Amino acid sequence: MGYSYDDQNIFAKILRGEIPCSKVHETEHSLAFADIAPKAPHHVLVIPKGPYVCYDHFAAEATDAEIVDYTRAIGAVCAQLGVSPSDGGNGYRMIANTGNDGVQEVPHLHVHILAGRNIGPMILMRP
């Protein structure tokens, strides 16, 4: 069926500069900014600049350069926050909510990076 991208979503507006964000990191193909409603002491969203709805859309249609850039941007944010265990940090959780069952609110691919406290169980334990 494929994906159709809604360019009126809030992250598309941030990318166009129509609404502000608290920028954490930017590369040629990616942008990271603070979540407006943080769920942890560190709560950063990392998005590709291209029009991708979710991760499987990105995996199928992004260029190699975009995929490498995005992956490295996520790593750079972890390094910048000092949360990577390899740097002596205490770790973090990455989440990419997708679609209805994944409870995705904004239809532009984003990875949440949550850190700065114990993030707790992975999900509510309901089969």
- Contact flag: residue 94 with ligand AMP (CB under 6 A): no
- Residue 2 contacts by C-beta under 8 Å, 6 or more apart in sequence? none
Stretch of residues binding ligand AMP (CB under 6 A), selected from 50-58, 59-67, 103-111, 113-121: 103-111
Interface with ligand AMP, residue 123, by CB under 6 A: no
**Type of residue numbered 114:** L
Q: How many residues bind ligand AMP (CB under 6 A)?
A: 13
Task: State the nearest-atom distance from the C-beta of 72 to ligand AMP, in Å.
Answer: 22
DSSP lists the bridge partners of residue 1 as none
> Is residue 104 involved in binding ligand AMP (CB under 6 A)?
yes
Q: Which of 29, 57, 108, 110 is catalytic?
A: 110
Are the beta carbons of 4 and 79 closer than 8 angstroms? no
Q: 29 vs 108, which CB is nearer to ligand AMP?
A: 108
Q: Is 112 a catalytic residue?
A: no
Rounded least distance, CB 107 to ligand AMP, Å: 8
Which alpha helices (DSSP H) does the chain contain, by range? 10-15, 55-61, 64-81
Integer CA distances (angstroms), 98 to 18, 103, 105, in order:
25, 6, 9
Which span (24-32, 35-43, 50-58, 66-74) binds ligand AMP, by CB under 6 A?
A: 35-43
| Tokens encoding 19 | 């609404």
Angle at 53 between CA 123 and CA 23, to 5 degrees: 80
**Chain positions contacting ligand AMP, by CB under 6 A:** 10, 19, 21, 33, 35-37, 45, 97, 103-106
